[in-house]
Chain A
């Protein structure tokens, strides 16, 4: 029997699970997240191995959803100096790189230049790439940086110039230089794409350190047989080599993992997921197995990128939410919470604060701690508090729904006991086993993806044929990344015409995803 190890680092807890070949949970643990993240991960790994009673050699895959890159950017720690080359002059000179970056983070860029080149919206060249200027820039920064970020106007349409500049960078700066190309990292919108590309290049050392550290530590724990993967914000996995090249893609993977994990545990691909923590509840939507995306761009450490987050609403309700009875007899729940002190402050744990958890115990929804201590809550108060909880959750669910029809609701997270099982607007409410660790499970069951992008002329090849060939290439990439052949499916396909470009040119982009073999 082979097993996989899933780890998810959250703000409060680090979760780890071991699941078997049938993707059933064998063991799960929750330990506090540490400020260095790494120690918490290793504590979780040791604890889950200790409780799992399985042969370490049988663990063949380990998936990690981590906040290390996010933290490095937010805390401005261990970032390396970057040389930034933008291809597009005379256009774009009116916005220098990092114009709206926070002062302290701007320092990460050693030097930047905007040189001639780039494309128009229809794929025509704005200017040919100024190779002399490229070489001059890289010669100038040689010896000062080991990491470069290259962006180009409309490079998501055509990336030949970015690729050529990358080749020249390697010739000038040597084979070991890290090169981040914007066309491989972001989508349309030059500044946000460039921002993400610079951050990616600056994370080069962090990525190297944490991937090597993770790898080495797992080996030391006796997991010699394991392939490592990192969670991305789109719910798919990267190999450790890819994570070293594109570390910035690991940011914001947390909510994605929770929603996908809850979906997996309930064997559903469409549902509303209610993830109840100690202080807040995140409500998200699972659509065809993936979280529904929000329109809001991810801002990280004060820098705007064009990555998308899952569409999640957070409400101030959790297992530790404080219940108050007011003079007029009304009862409120939250938004403040005793948080991680629940194990000492809640009534059922011998404390003196009425929490949402105490109310659930009082009404017999949960059996936690010393239930006799919850008996001191007046039943009418408990019922009123439960009505408030129910109202908050029902409203959040309703605002995530796409139509008036009832939906299946999946409860997850450590605090889910406070939510009643009969919710208005829900056709059924499911609390799958192990849902407390849905996030780590989401990490463990992630798929691997394959990506392919090409400019083709529909005058030379028929659309259907071109898409078929491109799909094959993407599938090969997914297989290369470790996907099981029969599980691979297309998750994203677009063919965008390059208007006014001779020969009916289109850009085909295709992304496929499949289960790990």
Chain B
């Protein structure tokens, strides 16, 4: 058990922008929401998963909709109380703690606001170990758990609880309601017991995010020039490519941004080329025609000099980036995990080979 204040939140947000693997939305707005809640209501207690009793009622918190809408129309802050009251009266149980569902992007931050505003602890875990585009892409699906009953509310006070037959239906229905509510809503879903959380959640991911963030801050503040090796060591990342963005192809289908960013090598990668395919998050990195990493491993594009992560919606002609691969949560590498978030699910016709194996070649 430890306390999370503003400084920790800032570092966690920086780490979360890397764990977004190109998607998840800019944690900036989530960071402000979390900071504001901590300023008004005090620091958040972070619990290690093992400190949670097996029969505790654990409630994940997230936003749904377009992060760009959230950047313009931020939440009211009262949403979490509405959600908590809804699930507590629905289940007839008191919430023991909140947790994030997604460690990458804006959703990594909102549970801090919920925990601060309700005076409840937060568990150091999540359901992805990164960011993913679809609702069912969580470790809890591997445990046969359902996203519903899911509670949803907007900033105006409209709220509802979904009971659906599959997680895909939840996605379908919740997206429609989200659009009607103005494009951005607060939700809690995959409510679970402490035992289930301990069995299926990605553990200690908030602490990892904080370490990544503080390391990135220290590197940024140092005036040394050659920090690339240090960055790779701290993140445990594999250097996949370094290049200049020469083309970005985009296509919006449904709620997703599909696309491909083409890179031309610089430095030691001169005369080599690469591309990275994405669907909100980065899906696969290819160098000189050879796949060097795929989902569910994390493929992160960061600024060559500052290591600031470059999300897929900020990819821009001429920008110079380092492409880094990070190992994903081990359970994603099982057959069931790959069925849910493996390359083939995203339409990439290749077997999954872990990034550290591919890097050996």
Contact = CB atoms under 8 A, between A and B. Distances in A.
Given A94-B113, A99-B32, A295-B316, A88 B157 contact: no
Interface stretch (A38-46, A348-356, A395-403, A471-479): A395-403
B318 A95 contact: no
B39 interface: yes
Contact of B73 (A96, A154, A311, A401): A154
Interface in B252-292: 264, 266
B75 to A, nearest CB: 4
B32 A95 contact: yes
A404 B74 CA distance: 43
B32 A92 contact: no
A36 to B, nearest CB: 29
B346 to A, nearest CB: 26
Contacts of B32: 95, 99-100, 191
Contact of A89 (B76, B113, B316): B76
Contact of B36 (A88, A95, A335, A399): A95
A252 B320 CA distance: 22
Interface stretch (A10-18, A60-68, A118-126): A118-126
Interface in B154-199: 155-157, 182-183
Interface residues on B, range: 35 or more
A90 interface: yes
Contacts of B75: 91-95
B334 interface: no
Interface in A396-440: 398-404
Interface stretch (B64-72, B90-98, B138-146, B200-208): B64-72
Contacts of B183: 120-121
Interface in B309-343: 310, 314, 316-320
B73 A190 contact: yes
Contacts of B357: none
A402 B246 contact: yes
A153 interface: yes
Does more than half of chain A's interface fall in helix, strand or loop, or is it mixed?
Answer: loop
B182 to A, nearest CB: 4
A297 to B, nearest CB: 9
A94 B316 contact: no
Contacts of A335: 225
B73 A120 contact: yes
B5 interface: no
B318 A94 contact: no
B76 A311 contact: no
B76 A126 contact: no
Given A91-B76, A153-B73, A188-B68, A99 B36 contact: yes
B309 to A, nearest CB: 12
Contacts of A93: 75-78
A94 B246 contact: no
Contacts of B39: 99
B254 to A, nearest CB: 15
Contacts of A403: 246
Contacts of A99: 32, 35-36, 39
Contacts of B66: 121
Interface residues of A, number: 37
A92 to B, nearest CB: 4
Interface string B77-115: 111000000000000000000000000000000000100
Contact of B182 (A89, A100, A121, A188): A121
A121 B72 contact: yes
A399 B73 contact: no
A174 interface: no
B240 interface: no
Contacts of B298: none
B130 interface: no
A295 B155 contact: no
A305 to B, nearest CB: 13
Contacts of B319: 295
Contact of B74 (A94, A120, A313, A402): A94
A95 B317 CA distance: 33
A183 to B, nearest CB: 12
Contact of B76 (A90, A154, A292, A402): A90
Contact of A121 (B73, B310, B318, B320): B73
Contact of A126 (B28, B31, B182, B244): B182
A91 B74 contact: yes
Given A99-B32, A99-B39, A126-B182, A190 B72 contact: yes
B122 interface: no
A96 B36 contact: yes
A212 B72 CA distance: 36
Interface string A116-158: 0010110010100000000000000000000000000110000
Nearest to B314: A295
Interface string A158-194: 0000000000000000000000000000001111000
A94 B266 contact: no
Nearest to B245: A402
B78 A90 contact: yes
A90 B73 contact: no
A94 B182 contact: no
B73 A191 contact: no
Which of A92, A188, A189 is most buried by chain B, counting CB atoms within 10 A of its CB?
A92
B266 A398 contact: yes
B33 interface: yes
Contacts of A153: 72-73
Contact of B318 (A91, A96, A190, A400): A400
Contacts of B216: none
A95 B155 contact: no
Nearest to B31: A100
Interface in A299-334: 304, 311, 313
Interface string B15-58: 00000000000001101110111010000000000000000000
Given A121-B183, A402-B317, A92 B74 contact: yes
Which of B36, B72, B79, B244 is most buried by chain A, counting CB atoms within 10 A of its CB?
B72
Nearest to B117: A94
A285 interface: yes
B76 A92 contact: yes
A89 B69 CA distance: 15
Contacts of B37: 94
Contact of A118 (B31, B73, B113, B316): B73
10 contacts: A91-B76, A94-B36, A99-B35, A120-B73, A153-B73, A191-B32, A292-B318, A295-B316, A398-B266, A404-B264
Given A91-B74, A94-B74, 11 more contacts: A92-B155, A94-B36, A94-B79, A95-B32, A121-B72, A153-B72, A189-B72, A191-B71, A399-B244, A401-B244, A402-B318
Interface of A: 88-96, 99-100, 118, 120-121, 124, 126, 153-154, 188-191, 285, 292, 295, 304, 311, 313, 335, 395, 398-404
The 7 closest A-B CB pairs, nearest first, are A94-B77, A94-B75, A91-B155, A120-B182, A92-B74, A90-B76, A95-B74
